[in-house]
Amino acid sequence: MRNKKVLLIAQAALIAALYFVLTYFISAFGLASGAIQVRISEALTVLPVFTPAAIPGLFVGCLISNLVTGCMPLDVIFGSLATLLGALGTYALRRHRWLAPLPPIVSNTIIVPFVLAYVYEAEGTIPFFMLTVGIGEVISCYVLGGILLQVLNRYRNVIFRQE
């Protein structure tokens, strides 16, 4: 029992660190935030298919990433909550692999445009931001996340063992 808790905490910490590193790396290219964003770290939102530890890991990783990359406080809160909701939805759909990447796409496509419009006062309309954020999320979650899902599925018993 105790070893399982330690394993889940270690997995969550590793996922949070990986999310942060990927976000920090892609922010150097200006793609981690803004109206047009392809956060490659969002590909990790498929990980709740394999382990529930990914839920807090993704949330904490997004929270730290948003803090370190200079996001506004409301963006830190709502952007991180969007990732948390997406991770919870992915976990709920873990038995339906092709639907699993959908919740983070939906949550970010709905929440992030309002952050862009009202927190950053970015020029553009909410439907435009929904389109641009949605396209970035599809690239990150369905394309990159789908590839990650296929690759990790082959090694799931080695990487995500529960003992």
Structural domain boundaries in the chain: 2-31+38-159
**pTM of the shown model:** 0.92
Q: Are 74 and 41 in contact (CB under 8 A)?
A: no
Angle at 98 between CA 95 and CA 103, to 5 degrees: 85
Instruction: Report pLDDT for 33.
Output: 67
Average pLDDT over residues 119-143: 94
Q: For residue 32, what pLDDT is reported?
A: 63
Report helix, strand or coil for 1: coil
Amino acid identity at 113? P
Of 11-15, 57-61, 137-141, 156-160, which gets the smallest average pLDDT? 156-160
Weakest mean pLDDT among 26-40, 88-102, 143-157: 26-40
CB contact at 8 A, 98 and 53: no
What mean pLDDT value characterizes the chain? 92
Average pLDDT over residues 134-160: 92
Residue 29 has a pLDDT of: 80
CB burial string 118-140: b at 16+ within 10 A, e below: ebeeeeeeeeebbbbbbebbbbb
Report how far residue 58's alpha carbon sits from residue 40's, in angstroms, rounded to the nearest whole number: 13
Q: Can you read off the two tokens belonging to residue 22?
A: 């990927």
pLDDT at 34: 64
Whether the predicted pLDDT of 100 surpasses 90 = yes
20 CB-near residues (< 8 Å, 6+ apart): 41, 61, 64, 65, 68
- The CB density around residue 100, as the number of other CB atoms within 10 Å, is 25
